[in-house]
Structures are given as C-alpha cells and as structure tokens.
Amino acid sequence: MHKLIVGGKEQESSSSFEVLNPFDSSLVDTVASAGEGQVEEALSAAEAARPEIRALPRSERAKVLYEVSRQLKARSDQLSRLLAAEAGKTLKEARGEVARAANTFAFAGDEAKRLAGEIIPFDAVPGGHGRQGCSLKVPLGVILAITPYNFPVNLAAHKIAPAMAAGNPFILKPASVTPLSGIMLGKIILEAGFPPGGVSVLPGPGSSVGLKLVRDPRPRMVTFTGSVDVGKQIAREAGYKKIGMELGSNSGIVVTGSADLDFACGRIVAGAYALAGQVCISVQRVVAQRDIFDQLVERVTGLTAEVKAGDQLDPATTMGPMISEKEAARVEAWVAEATQAGAKVRTGGTRQGTLFQPTVITGVPEDKNLWQEEAFGPVVAINPYDDFEEALASINETRYGLQAGIFTDSLDQAFKAIESLDVGGVIVNDFPTYRVDQMPYGGVKDSGIGREGLKYAIAEMTEEKLICFNFWRPD
C-alpha cells in the first residue's frame, strides 16, 4: 500500500482506497486516504516550514529543482509505467508526460535564479527627489495544488515547481483515480533536498480532504485544474486567498481554403485522440471552408480509422481507454443526441466499457452538447462554413475560451482570427492542443482564471515588497 506524505514523512492511515486500471479494472495498488488529523498536520507542518523555505537562497532552490528534473529523467521508465497503469495513457504518452515534467522543473530552476523585483523611479513625481527604491519578490506562503487525472505528473509540476522556485511550501491533493504518480513525485522532491515540512501529498476524497484544505486560511493560494463546477465551488469556499484555475475547454479550429490540407488533417487527428481526447485543449470542433469540407472530412476520417484503440499497456495501442465507464457512457450519449438531431457519424461512435472508439461526426447542431460543452473524449465534430467571420463567431459561440487554432496561408485571416477569437491562446497553422511548458497558458470565460507557465505562475505565487530610501535632507 502506498502511504501518504505528511510534512515530509510517510504515514499510513485508518482508511484506504483502490486505484484501478481504467482499461480492465484490475488493481494497480492501494493507497492510504488522508484523515482529518493528517490534513491538520500537513497544514501545520507547511506553515511551520515557511521561514526555512523562504530563507532558501535562489541558488539552492534552483539546485533542488534541477535535481528533481534529473531524477524524473532517471526514473522515467518506472514512473511512466505507473502513470500508464493508473491514468490509461499509452506508454508513449506516459513517457512524454514524464519528459515534459522534467523540463518543467528545469525551467522552474532557471526562473528561480531570475526571480527579481524592479527599480522604482521615485523622482518621476514631485516630492520624489532624493528618494531611491526598489521592489522585491517575496514568497506568498503555503500553496495548495489540486490536480486532475489526465496529466497527474506534469500538471502537478506546473503547480509545485513554481511554488518551490518562489520559496513556498506546498500541499498536493492529487485526483483520487491517479494518486500514485503524485506520491512518487513527492518522494523525489524530498530526496532532492527540499525542506521536508514543505512537502505533503494527501490523496483522498475532494468532498472531505479537498474542501478542508480549501477552506483553511493557512494556504495563501489554491491552484486548481479540473471541471468548471468544482472550480466554482472552490472559488466559493476558498475565502480570502489567491486562486488560479484552468477549467477546460472545447477547443476549435478554423481550416480555410488556403490551408495545407494534409498537414491540417494530420494535426486534427493528433490533437483529437491524444489520451482518448481527455485533454483540456483537445481538438473537439472544426469548421472548414465549404470548398474543402468534403476533402477534409474524408482525410480526417481515414486517419482516424487507423488509430488503434485498446489496452494502453500494449505497445501496439495508439489510444487507450477513457478514465471511467461513466465518462465513456456520457460521450456516447452526447454522440447519440447529435445524431438524433441530424448529425452523421463518419467513423467510430461505439463503446465497449471504457473504450470509446475514435469518432468523427459531421453536421452537429451548434446548440448540442458536442458543440457547446467539453466532451473530454475521443470525438471531433466537423462542420462547414461559407463566411470567414461566421466561422470565427461559431468558434466563439461557447462558454469556454482556452485555446483555438487556425490553418491558413493568409496573414489577413490569421490576424483577424487573433483579434476576434475570444480565447487565452490562438495557435496559427497548428492545432490548439499545442503547448510548451514555459508559455503563458490559461483561458478566458469559463476556461479559468490566471496563467500557468513557470514565469507567470511564479508571479502569482510571490508578493511585491516595496523598499524606499530617503536620502534627502533639508539644508
């Protein structure tokens, strides 16, 4: 059984739960579930560790972060297999996530050394003569990180690594279906030399463990990735603290008549079925100029039919299962709703347990769930358009706004899309699933609050402290 990490110490618990392989429901392992006393102990340990972690020189923070990165690379095979088993990722996807997490910690090490304030020109205003000053970036305090099941290592890294770089203790509350990789990550951070009191990993129900942590005044920031409903609940319960949230999307693409069609189709398929579509910036909606619509549908359908869905631990598999049968059944129901309203399934659309076949569907009415909500499954809806501005409006016609893409050879169209699309990121001539870990990443509308990416997250996890020297004295 995997133990909790409470203030740097491994602990057992009076209760536990099973972690199951999403493909066949086989037991991966058993995990201790945090109780009320362990939550309190973790909060107290984190608060007590603040002075020690705050005092760590930037060079020491960077050294620890680089060591975490090195250890992630060294243990990639072990962690990747664990990640694949609990999250349903293919081994290739799992290895890719671990590699990204290693880079995320390395980027955080770089940013720790660059962390600085600025010079303040006090003499720019009357009365400022003879005064000089600056601001310093100081640690915010205890950071509470609540992470999802789809990227349990790298999305934990995006919350933990900037917290460490900024000089803050952290508490990680991993998703209950994927806690094993988070526990292993916590152990690696401790072995790398981060002060023990500042490291806690507390698996357990969000309704008890998560809410108790959120409501407590000691964390100064909650950073969360997950559903809109849970995000809004956290916002209501968090009280007087900072909040950073990435709440998902139903990312859209506009494909114009001037696009490189072969490239666009390949990227649509790659972005639609990674991790069985369970990616916040997964390709879900495509609007294609009517002149190329039929060609695009034919090519995307053909490429989709080549995706091999099955046991994620089989090296021949290119798409694994969804996280649960409940989620797969929901996607199945959404596809049925769309087809009953006139949409046409071109390939896929069937389910066996948690395995939902990669699906292409066309003619989806824009008031249906597959267009309006986040499918979070292996489905791409493709509709035609006649007017470019109407295509942009169609992408915007949703409560989400994380990232969107456009394929075009026209600079005018590219800049019109950049100006018009109501999203946090516009990706020109690539899919909206594109993300590198140092870029500012986040959304608008119901897609979230704030930005991840090391430099940007660190800014949220620090405070400005002003220093002013008065050198002026009256003669």
Which is catalytic among the residues 67, 246, 325, 332? 246
Pair of tokens at residue 102: 């290693």
Is beta strand 131-139 parallel, antiparallel or unpaired with respect to 118-120? antiparallel
Which is catalytic among the residues 41, 111, 265, 280? 280
Is 468 catalytic? The answer is no
Is 134 catalytic? The answer is no
Distance separating alpha carbons of residues 339 and 345, to the nearest angstrom: 7
Give the chain as a 3 state SS string. CECEEECCEEECCCEEEEEECCCCCCEEEEEEECCHHHHHHHHHHHHHHHHHHHCCCHHHHHHHHHHHHHHHHHCHHHHHHHHHHHHCCCHHHHHHHHHHHHHHHHHHHHHHHHCCCEEECHHHCCCCCCEEEEEEEEECCEEEEECCCCCCCHHHHHHHHHHHHHCCCEEEECCCCCCHHHHHHHHHHHHCCCCHHHEEECCCCHHHHHHHHHHCCCEEEEEEECCHHHHHHHHHHCCCCEEEEECCCCCEEEECCCCCHHHHHHHHHHHHHHHHHCCCCCCCEEEEEHHHHHHHHHHHHHHHHCCCECCCCCCCCCECCCCCHHHHHHHHHHHHHHHHCCCEEEECCCEECCEECCEEEECCCCCCHHHHCCCCCCEEEEEEECCHHHHHHHHHCCCCCCEEEEECCCHHHHHHHHHHCCCCEEEECCCCCCCCCCCCECCCHHHEECCECHHHHHHHCEEEEEEEEECCCCC
Distance separating alpha carbons of residues 53 and 138, to the nearest angstrom: 11
Distance separating alpha carbons of residues 170 and 115, to the nearest angstrom: 19
CB 185 within 8 A of CB 7: no
Cα 446 off chain centre by: 15
Q: What angle do CA 408, 307, 434 make, to 5 degrees?
A: 40
Distance separating alpha carbons of residues 359 and 343, to the nearest angstrom: 12
Catalytic residues: 246, 280
